[in-house]
Structure 1
């Protein structure tokens, strides 16, 4: 069992991380209730660390890139100081404890900072592999962090495989975020959808950045979004076997995160793929249902010989569908 943090300000620091999590992460806040207390506290610390880093980029004035980079560099220095045993502030005091208690590798922490730093520039993504690399930086890194906290009982070698599945889940969740937030991102001058995918359906980044609600009623938009939703679902399917590799007391939380975020894809479909003028949301009753299903979740006993080195995804059109462009399947 992980020993709790014993410093006198630990309860206050933990409460601040919990506050940040509950204010910004509905799905994760619910899912984390399925974790034992110490792991929940550690998960809140990781979320708060990632959230504040993301907010440094999203909420600041992008007219002054030099100032933004300096802020992110200072955040990076605070992280390094925390890892060196010299933490300052509630989040980094909690991060110092989490990384020590759960032996979290520094690599995904710094990968996250590099990933959010890419948003300081007006990046566009020509292909899915380019966007996937961005998703790995800002979200697969989070999946890797969480794997250390959730625990893998079969030992370090199996943890390597569990991390690969968790990173795939992170990519699925970030792609879901992108599809949900098309209009909001366009308001910041960002279009994450791969240019190659948009061109396949006769669309361009400028069509998205114009934020014209009429675009959402265009047949080409629905086809593009169906294509990307199917890609996200294939990623979720590829990631799910990894949940069985986690400690039993963390499997329900991981399942709730996966199914909760996957549920956003259904919400996107339910509003006719219009994420330009509105944000797709899961209703309260649906979130409670997700939590209840996660509580009853029992991961199957994994066939370790079949897991190989982690998920392998081959993208190809679904020839069983009359609309081959609309679907991507996992092969």
Structure 2
């Protein structure tokens, strides 16, 4: 299974919560060429009408006004050192280490500016990658809370905008097609979705397919021809989906989904930004930069999916905490993929590891390209695996709070990805020449284990039952 070439959709999780299966050339036969048409390759008539003028936005990094952060999950104290406290991690970092993380400017990269870390004078406050991410989490949680308060949904049905007359039949066919793609490329996850209600099942399939199509733009057969402007075109097309103007039947499935569930548009935009990062960035100075990347390509899927999967009615957990846990699972799975694929990424000239931490262990880029499994490398890997497991522990708290029909596929993916870390250790931390994988028999055994965990209600509900 090879799905990493830059670390992108291989690390996208939570729709597949790892999207276990790999891409194969037949994928485009299944989906057709519409995704490439949308960005200008083999374009259909409707696409040819689009202007291909430069769509690059201004390159200045976003500057936040000074002031205290009132985020309930992240607190920022200004001064010589800032202490960032998040749901799963707590660490101190100097402002200088963060000011350039993930600031994508026109001067550096040539595409629309996106800043998660504000470049400001030392006396002013700055925004870390985690703060940006948790702002998105809070927004999504607020949407879901509002949705829970509504007794009736009065959202527009996109079907009337897609195709007159046969709209319903076409939409049904679109969902069936999405399910077929999910079944072909992620059998384990697809099996788990069969326990969901039909409406949730179809919605998850639609999100899954959009994420795969997005990744194919930078990881597919035409990836070498994709430009930043082409990704901008794909984002414009995506914006049309949220406006109820789908381009093809697969888009229509997602457009219908976002009218039925309180799904926020921002995580989708952020995923596209993750694809942009992969086009231009092959090193990460520190964990703050890597965290933002992991969020963009993996954590975003959790924010897309939790509104569909649902939170158990008997859960007493806050909506924000469940989303934070879903985000933690995305980060954990992405870090696991990175640790598994170090050798393969190095052969492509990419190192998805914090440069400052490598330096602290006395490891250079040359050592990684040479594939040296030294004592220093083993110590470094132990430290990285420990961090990934911390995120997995945090993620487990949220899986328990999901709706009972949605827990099984999530538990399955979580268990399987934890076993990848075990396999790296079993290989004596040689992730240069040996690939860590989960054997088929282990996958089969994990399914009933995951199913058993899925039957356990949220902790608070379980405590009430035991009284």
TM-score scaled to structure 1, two decimals? 0.80
C-alpha distance in 2, partners of 1:11/1:145? 21
C-alpha distance in 2, partners of 1:62/1:249? 37
C-alpha distance in 2, partners of 1:262/1:74? 37
Partner of 1:292: 448
CA-atom RMSD in angstroms: 2.7
Partner of 2:357: 197
- What SS does structure 2 have at the residue aligned with 1:7? helix
Indicate whether 1:140 and 2:140 are aligned: no
Partner of 2:394: 238
User: Quick check: which one's helix share is greater?
Assistant: 1
Q: How big is the shift at 1:27?
A: 5.0
| Count of aligned pairs | 297
Q: How big is the shift at 1:233?
A: 0.6
Indicate whether 1:179 and 2:336 are aligned: no
The answer as to whether partners of 1:53 and 1:113 remain within 8 angstroms in 2 is: yes
C-alpha distance in 1, partners of 2:243/2:433? 46
**Against the structure 1 CA distance between its residues 62 and 91, is the aligned structure 2 distance closer, same or farther, given a 3 Å change threshold?**
closer
**Against the structure 1 CA distance between its residues 233 and 183, is the aligned structure 2 distance closer, same or farther, given a 3 Å change threshold?**
same
**Against the structure 1 CA distance between its residues 295 and 157, is the aligned structure 2 distance closer, same or farther, given a 3 Å change threshold?**
closer
Partner of 1:277: 433
Trace 1:18-33 onto structure 2 (pairs within 5 A): 18-25=179-186, 28-33=189-194
**Against the structure 1 CA distance between its residues 115 and 295, is the aligned structure 2 distance closer, same or farther, given a 3 Å change threshold?**
same
Indicate whether 1:114 and 2:273 are aligned: yes
Partner of 1:221: 377
C-alpha distance in 2, partners of 1:199/1:27? 39
Q: How big is the shift at 1:226?
A: 1.6
Indicate whether 1:85 and 2:244 are aligned: yes
User: Which structure is larger by alpha-carbon Rg, 1 or 2?
Assistant: 2
- Report Cα offsets for 1:26-57 as digits up to 9, x if no partner: 65345434434432322222122112212212
Structure 2 unaligned blocks of 5 or more? 1-151, 160-166, 462-467
Partner of 1:323: none
C-alpha distance in 1, partners of 2:320/2:169? 35
Partner of 2:253: 94
Structure 1 unaligned blocks of 5 or more? 305-331
C-alpha distance in 1, partners of 2:203/2:187? 17
Partner of 1:318: none
- What SS does structure 1 have at the residue aligned with 2:352? coil
